[in-house]
Structure 1
Amino acid sequence: MRTPSRRRPRATLAAAAAGTLLAPLLSGCWAGAGGTGSGGDAINVLMVNNPQMTELQKLTAAHFTRETGIKVNFTVLPENDVRDKISQDFANQAGQYDVATLSNYEIPIYARNGWLHEMNSYVAKDPSYDEQDVLQPMRESLTGDDGKLYGQPFYGESSFLMYRKDVFAAKGLTMPAHPTWQQVADLAAKADGARSGMRGICLRGLPGWGEVMAPLTTVVNTFGGTWFDKDWTARLDSPAFVKATKFYVGLVREHGESGAAQSGFAECLNNMTQGKVAMWYDATSAAGLLEADGSPVKGKLGYAPAPVERTKSSGWLYTWAWGIQQASRNPDKAWKFVSWASSKGYEQLVGETSGWSDVPAGKRASTYTNAAYRASAAAFQEMTKEAIENSRPNDPGVQPRPAPGIQFVGIPEFTDLGTKVSQEISSAIAGRQSTDSALKKSQQLAERISKEYEGR
């Protein structure tokens, strides 16, 4: 531990944390406390524009509003835009939105700052919600430092390895039940070129703390590396972090998809669907899309746990969840919406009206005992549940961590740090600089965070 005299005052740190969340917003205009908030029998919900959320929007009036009399005004935005708008409204406690979609990255941070309404009191009075049915890693990831719940998951995911069973069979390849990353690299080399234009594997290379850094950080964890040690010393130049990053960059450059430096989740999904890659390591939520009716690869895929090296498991943990703003004028009505949107009943509604492949899964144990869902998701549902249950957000590597998180570091500054580091890594994937050069710059960026947190 370095000398405490270099620590910044707690008030300064708190301001810096809030500033990190709000920095992209201060140049724009926002509707403050005097703006249009919710009231009466209406609530305002701000959410990300992914397909399962827009499906919820379509079903709300005919079901939730009809049953409760509560009107829901939705604001639906792309991920980057919605994160900015949420942080703006919640950090200022403007109260314009009662409910927002937040991930397990933001919720503990927002709770620590007093921006969220606790949910324990509602859960205690609403036994039909069945909080114990929510998978334990999800509950824990949405719990604040005070032990109270501050979010309820809409859907959850981990990460695993997807591969073409037919291509493996044709090449005489066998996927181990619990593959190591070295085994995956060997298989990628052998599957490369198995069919015309097919590459061995797809791995994200697109800049972004939630793009390339998500899978790469899981590789770092299982190789024995960490962003920071327990004393907040930056460790991006450690042998394990360097080895993991060189492995990842080398694998995607040698046997990965075309244009890897600009490939994120969407691009890899397209590559897998179109038969351009034999394997793909990514979110478990991708399986529902690959196995959907009309998918060219439906029924052709096998699934294996996230590859490991030094840890028993390495899959990440992520959820889009609902948070209620502390300044909400209608927290009781907001809870009614949250409990409906995250309930077993809502999953049943989606299954019956839209199809079981569209159910927002990955959050409840009962989903995986539902015969209709199990039949629809037979290829991947058990593997997904195991990946989520085996995730270790508080202990994802081989050493103690100063903050929770598997594919991220649970501090406000990580959005900026992770994005800047991702740009360096993506540049190495593109061949514009060496991995050593990328990590040298990244270490310097991380050391600035060390100076803010050391000794705490």
Structure 2
Amino acid sequence: MFSKTLLGLSTAMTLIATGAFAADGDKSLTIAIVNNGHMINMQKVAEAYTEKTGVALNWVSLEEGVLREQVTSDTATGGGQYDVINIGMQEAPIWGEAGWIEPLNFGDDYDIDDMLPAIRNGLSYDGQLYAAPFYGESSMVMYRKDLTDAAGVTIADNDSWDNILAAAKAIHDPDAGVYGVCLRGKPGWGDNMAFITAMVNSFGGAWFDKDFKPTIDTEAWHKAINFYVNLLGTYGPPGSEGNSFNEILALYNEGKCGMWIDATIAASFLEVDGVAYAQSPNAGNPVGANWLWAWAMAVPTGTDKAEEAKAFIEWATSKDYIQAVANHPDFGWGAVPTGTRKSTYANPEFQAAANFASAELAAIESAAPEATDLKPYVGVQFAAIPEFPEVGSAVAQDMAAALSGAKTVDEALEASQDAAESIMKEAGYFE
């Protein structure tokens, strides 16, 4: 294990000492990150990295959708704007196969076998890791038990959607500033479609059939989207079509959400007392009802600082980094990035600080990204094919329109089917 005193910086310091940086003396890395809580915390924790190594870290913090657009464009063209990038499970294996990002091979002290298998596999191609997970997640129900108790309702693991609807109705009290349920509505393949796809899965639906023909304008999608629009439109906050993770997190911490079904990582940032957790609901099909994701760090092949970037990633995704967050006066064990390592969940200090730990781990371990008879693609809330971001983004706009009332559900699904078919035909999947 790396020295705790040096926060695991020995690899990076060796690189600097041996002159691994460019001859012009530029000891800096430009890092593109999503503007989520753990990433923001990293900027403060990583001050120790700069202090010990002399490497200046230039952070580019972007909203999720904007990050994806900019990073994809720069990486695909070898632009070299960034030395380290945030990507996820949708991109990592595809970009690794395409040669857009560098393979990652770390020293024995990194203990790659400590990584949760589902997370490691999702960030690898042909057994090779191409992106190291900064945090991982599934999805689960996070609800105010004080409100459900007062209303005389209960929420169980793998509950039915009908019971979720009944619970939302029972705790919905807009006059008191409390909405029964908060769910993603902001359009984006990783925004509203992350939640919607998991819900569609639970109704027995999928994105494509075995020939990769879109299956959006189908009975399962109609049932799921009608339910979604009714649930969130009736018992959610006004303007939900503009809300994604960060917006709902703020609403929840203001006491305005009675229930939230979203990324397990949210539990690290909830500031409301009395929150309880349950495994994701389903409409008869639990396979794919909870998603699997990791925000990970990768090195684009366009950078001329690949080795230095890998050294930073090795530190930032190590056991020592987790310990550094735990030791930091502004954070502690309840704020460490989760969903990546077995050792985190085995740590008694983490267990004591994180009442969500067992629920989160159970959700991650039960996620089912493998291809099945129902879906021919890898991925839970996405399809791990190059065309999915375009397909998912187009459908996301129609789903937001259905939620806002700009389109009927039937109109939205018909338009989504047409858009998806056009994209997949142009890509050559079928005639």
- TM-score, normalized by length of structure 1? 0.83
CA contact (8 A) 1:163 1:279 kept: yes
* 1:71 and 2:48 matched: no
Q: Cα distance, 1:398 vs. partner?
A: 6.0
- The one-letter amino acid of 1:383's match is A
Determine the C-alpha separation between the residues in 1 that align with 2:222 and 2:158: 24
* 1:341 and 2:327 matched: no
- The one-letter amino acid of 1:241's match is W
Q: Cα distance, 1:280 vs. partner?
A: 1.1
Query: Match for residue 242 of structure 1?
Result: 222
- SS of the equivalent of 1:399 reads coil
- Of 148, 153, 178 in structure 2, the residue corresponding to residue 168 of structure 1 is 148
Alignment of 1:212-291 (within 5 A): 212-290=192-270
Determine the C-alpha separation between the residues in 2 that align with 1:201 and 1:85: 32
Determine the C-alpha separation between the residues in 2 that align with 1:277 and 1:255: 10
Query: Match for residue 13 of structure 2?
Result: none
* 1:419 and 2:393 matched: yes
Q: Cα distance, 1:322 vs. partner?
A: 1.0
* 1:39 and 2:22 matched: yes
- The one-letter amino acid of 1:364's match is R
Determine the C-alpha separation between the residues in 1 that align with 2:420 and 2:250: 33
CA contact (8 A) 2:50 2:57 kept: no
Q: 1:197 to 1:51 in 2, by over 3 A?
A: closer
CA contact (8 A) 1:357 1:376 kept: yes
Query: Match for residue 36 of structure 2?
Result: 50
Q: Which moved more, 1:85-94 or 1:149-158?
A: 85-94
Alignment of 1:7-406 (within 5 A): 39=22, 42-48=27-33, 49-62=35-48, 64-67=49-52, 69=53, 71-79=55-63, 80-119=65-104, 122-123=105-106, 126-144=107-125, 146-193=126-173, 196-290=176-270, 295=271, 297-298=272-273, 300-313=274-287, 314-353=289-328, 354-378=331-355, 380-395=356-371, 399-401=374-376, 403-406=377-380
CA contact (8 A) 2:206 2:375 kept: no
Gaps of 5+ in 2: 1-19
- The one-letter amino acid of 2:92's match is I
Determine the C-alpha separation between the residues in 1 that align with 2:339 and 2:295: 10
Q: Cα distance, 1:418 vs. partner?
A: 1.8
CA contact (8 A) 1:284 1:384 kept: yes
- SS of the equivalent of 2:128 reads coil
Q: Cα distance, 1:182 vs. partner?
A: 1.9
- The one-letter amino acid of 1:276's match is K
Measured against aligned partners, the alpha-carbon deviations of 1:213-259 in whole angstroms (never above 9, x if no partner) come to 11011010111111111211110011111111111111112222222
Determine the C-alpha separation between the residues in 2 that align with 1:83 and 1:213: 15
- The one-letter amino acid of 2:323's match is Q
Measured against aligned partners, the alpha-carbon deviations of 1:191-217 in whole angstroms (never above 9, x if no partner) come to 223973422211222222222111011
- SS of the equivalent of 1:285 reads helix
Measured against aligned partners, the alpha-carbon deviations of 1:339-397 in whole angstroms (never above 9, x if no partner) come to 1100011000111113222211111111111122111112x1110111111111224x7
Q: How many residues align?
A: 404
Determine the C-alpha separation between the residues in 2 that align with 1:55 and 1:172: 38
Q: Cα distance, 1:409 vs. partner?
A: 2.1
Give the % identical residues.
37
Q: Which moved more, 1:231-240 or 1:109-118?
A: 109-118
- The one-letter amino acid of 1:376's match is A
Runs (4 or more) in structure 1 with deviation over 6 Å come to none
Determine the C-alpha separation between the residues in 2 that align with 1:254 and 1:283: 22
Q: Cα distance, 1:179 vs. partner?
A: 0.8
Determine the C-alpha separation between the residues in 1 that align with 2:68 and 2:156: 39
Determine the C-alpha separation between the residues in 2 that align with 1:240 and 1:84: 30
- SS of the equivalent of 2:290 reads coil
Query: Match for residue 8 of structure 1?
Result: none
CA contact (8 A) 1:45 1:98 kept: yes
Determine the C-alpha separation between the residues in 1 that align with 2:259 and 2:375: 32
Q: Cα distance, 1:302 vs. partner?
A: 0.8
Determine the C-alpha separation between the residues in 1 that align with 2:21 and 2:222: 50
CA contact (8 A) 1:46 1:86 kept: no
Determine the C-alpha separation between the residues in 1 that align with 2:76 and 2:84: 14
- SS of the equivalent of 2:414 reads helix
Determine the C-alpha separation between the residues in 2 that align with 1:417 and 1:331: 32
Determine the C-alpha separation between the residues in 1 that align with 2:305 and 2:137: 30
- TM-score, normalized by length of structure 2? 0.87
